[in-house]
Amino acid sequence: MKILTSVRNIFLWLWLFCIVAVFGDIFIVVYVRKELFTYTPNYFSILLCIFFLVGCLSFVLMILVSVLLEIIKSEKNKIKKQNIFIKIIRFFVILALFPIFSFINFFHPKELVIKIKKSGLKSFFKEVRKRLLFDIFSFSMGLIVVFVLSAIWFSGYFIAGMMTLEVLGFNPRSVPISGTGSMFPTFPKSIEKDIKKQSKDIIGNYDFTPYPNGLFLFNKRYFGYKLGRNDIVTAYNKKISEISKKLYKTNSGVVKRIIGLPGDSVEIRNGLVYINGKALFEPYTAKPHSTFGEVFLNECKKIKIPENKYFLMGDNRKGSGDSREFGWVDEKDIDSVIPFKKQKGILDKNYRDTAKDLNNSSKINLNKQEYLKLLNEKRKETGAQLLKYQPLLEKSAYKRGEVILKYNDFSFEATKSAYTMAKAMSEVNYWNPSYGEAPTQGYFDADELLENQFEYADSKKFLLNNVYQEVGISEIEGEINGCPTQIIIQHFAGYVPPNYKKETVESWRIALNQLKGIQSGWTGLKNNTSLYNDNKNDVDRINEIINTRIANIEPIVTRMEANQWLNKQQNNYTYQDENLAQEQEQIANKLNSK
């Protein structure tokens, strides 16, 4: 016992010496030399490592000897001997609870309580002061050892706990979030305008818990977190990879919110999400009535989620590629999660009030003038002429929208209804040679609509086309196949000089002069009574053709010489004139042969 006690004391003093030496070494380098270890002579670093390692070793040996002493002491106080298994258990219990044993050893709390009961607090404090005067050093060292040991032990408990959590998968891991804005307003959006730059702009790192987590035994999971609605997850699979490569040119996963759980039915109607027939109140979405179908889940189509599958959506419904596009996500494709409960107070700062979400008044309206202002800013950046708002084009857009809803035909050629943009413009008495149409389904404000359109190269190119000078916009609510919806129709039009080829203009001018040159001769045949009576129908017909051709070609030549577009009637006539010319020639040959 005495030998072991001496050995323990040696290790204790060695450990304390190493602590003082380590802090002394650091003090000399940092506060005396005012340098970093990378700039000091090597012996400072070498001494620091030696003192640290020797201190750690002496500390471990001191603890082991102390535990051994505790076991021997307890053995002497027992009558019955314990088996080796019990001894091993006791050894680890003492080792695990060593700060408590150290505190009891140094301060003997049981004896202190007995003394306080016998002599009272005043006598106790007198005794303490008396002892402190004679044994101040031992008492101070006891305090130091107990508190230092406790700090080290608690640190060990903390590290052990963290390691346990890591093994079980409960330790959060930092996940970088890009600024594409698909989860706005929960996560911020990048200030970059280009979608590829947004995907590379990291707007923050957020703590996600690995999934699946828990204790796995015999193919069963215990204590693990179970995914729930509104959890935010990261997911990756083949379809997601294909979409990310197409949009961002990177092979990445997605960060989305769980909306539908296995066994749920999902439906999108009138800009809202319905789960099992009930509308969801979604404060995390960027806008109310902002959810619309995609290729996997169309409007007003109810589908049931299979077992072990989840339906994911981004919070920014108009700017998110999600399960509406790439379909279900298997549970095995989800690799981390932020539970909904842990989002509160951290990620919910920008959430909306959903009290009026089911009212029609909460539907988003498009401010047309604000949209035109934003679009013209974009056009100005590219050097395109600014657009003017044209009420007649707004009327033609409304007429087209009604027909589009009726026939569910968004094609510019109007393949189902045959009611084209040209017909709509004609009905409102508007004409321009260059025109185009941009239909969009959904409820949008000015910023959202422009952002949505500029996300795709084709629509962006169309909106910045320098050919157009005027625009009209209409919002039309209705139904498509019994499903309530809204469409926004934009009609663009502009004037560009035709710049006819000289040869084309000259050919029409020559034709007109030739017709005028022969007109009097063919009219004179009516004065030849015998010839006219014998060939009355042919003479009348050829004169009719000549007069018709002159009447139509003359304004065509005038417009071409003025470099003006032909109107619809004149343009149609250019295709008819060739037939009239052939018929004229046939009659002329017939009459000339007589």
Q: Are residues 450 and 404 in the same domain?
A: yes
- DSSP of 480-526, one letter per residue? ETTEEEEEEEEEEEE-------HHHHHHHHHHHHHHHHHHHHHHHGG
The per-residue pLDDT of the chain, averaged, comes to 85
In this predicted structure, the answer to whether residue 389 has a pLDDT above a threshold of 50 is yes
Residues 510-566 have pLDDT tens digits of: 999 999 999 998 998 888 877 888 889 999 999 999 999 999 999 999 999 999 888
- Tokens describing residue 486: 């809204």
**568-584 pLDDT, tens digit each:** 789 899 999 999 999 99
Closest CA to 257 of 230, 284, 286, 217: 230
Q: What percentage of residues in the chain have a pLDDT greater than 90?
A: 51
Domain final residue pick, 168, 189, 207: 168
Q: Are residues 22 and 164 in the same domain?
A: yes
Mutual angle of helices 2-27 and 109-168, in 10-degree steps = 60
At residue 18, does pLDDT exceed 90?
A: no
Structure pTM? 0.64
pLDDT-derived band of residue 60, with 50, 70 and 90 as boundaries? confident
pLDDT at res. 159: 66
- What are the residues facing 352 on neighbouring strands? none
**DSSP H stretches of helix in 172-305:** 195-200, 238-248
Which residue, 66, 236, 48, 264, is CA-closest to 149? 66
Residue 190 and residue 262 in one domain: yes
Q: Among residues 315, 337, 359, which one ends one of the domains?
A: 359
Q: What angle do CA 576, 582, 583 make, to 5 degrees?
A: 90
What is the C-alpha radius of gyration for the chain, rounded to an integer number of angstroms? 45
**pLDDT confidence tier of residue 252, bands split at 50, 70 and 90:** confident
Task: Report the range of poorest mean pLDDT among 73-82, 154-163, 165-174, 216-225.
Answer: 73-82
CA dihedral of 114, 120, 125, 126, whole degrees rounded to 10 = -110
Mean pLDDT score, 395-401: 97
Does 296 score more than 70 pLDDT? yes
The span from the CA of 61 to the CA of 67, in Å, is 10
> In degrees rounded to 5, what are phi and psi of residue 276?
55, 40
> What pLDDT is recorded for position 135?
54
| CA 424/CA 79 separation, integer angstroms | 108
Q: Do 234 and 315 have their domain in common?
A: yes
- pLDDT above 70: percentage of residues in the chain: 82
Residue among 451, 548, 438, 453 at smallest CA distance from 490: 438
Cβ contacts of 466 within 8 Å, gap of 6 or more: 383, 384, 385
Say which CATH number the domain at 201 has: 2.10.109.10
What letter represents residue 298's amino acid? N
Arithmetic mean of pLDDT, 468-487: 93
- Give the end of a domain, one of 478, 494, 510: 494
Which pLDDT score is estimated for 80?
A: 47
For residues 247 and 233, what is the distance between their CA atoms, to the nearest angstrom? 20
Range of the domain at 403: 368-494
343 and 378 part of one domain: no
**Cβ atoms < 10 Å from Cβ of 251:** 11
Within this chain, do residues 137 and 202 fall inside the same structural domain, yes or no? Answer: no
Residue 63 has pLDDT above 90, yes or no: no
Two tokens, residue 240: 């997601």
Residue 132 shares a structural domain with residue 37 = yes
Per-residue pLDDT band at 75 (split at 50, 70, 90): low
The per-residue pLDDT for range 119-145, each reduced to its tens digit, is: 766 666 666 666 555 455 555 555 565
In a shared domain, residues 51 and 115: yes
pLDDT class of 160 with cuts at 50, 70, 90: low
Domain containing residue 430: CATH number: 3.40.33.10
pLDDT computed for residue 23 by the predictor:
77
Mean pLDDT, residues 278-282? 95
SS3 257: strand
How many domains does the chain divide into? 4
- Residue matched to tokens 């469409």: 487
pLDDT of residue 26: 75
- pLDDT of res. 234: 96
Between CA 384 and CA 20 the distance in angstroms is 75
* Residues 410, 403: Cα–Cα separation, whole Å: 9
Shared-domain flag, residues 18 and 149: yes
Q: Are residues 297 and 182 in the same domain?
A: yes
- pLDDT of 7: 77
> Residue 352: phi, psi to the nearest 5?
-90, 165
Name the pLDDT band for 114 (thresholds 50, 70, 90): confident
| Cβ atoms of residues 189 and 213 within 8 Å | no
Contacts (Cβ under 8 Å, ≥6 apart) of 418? none
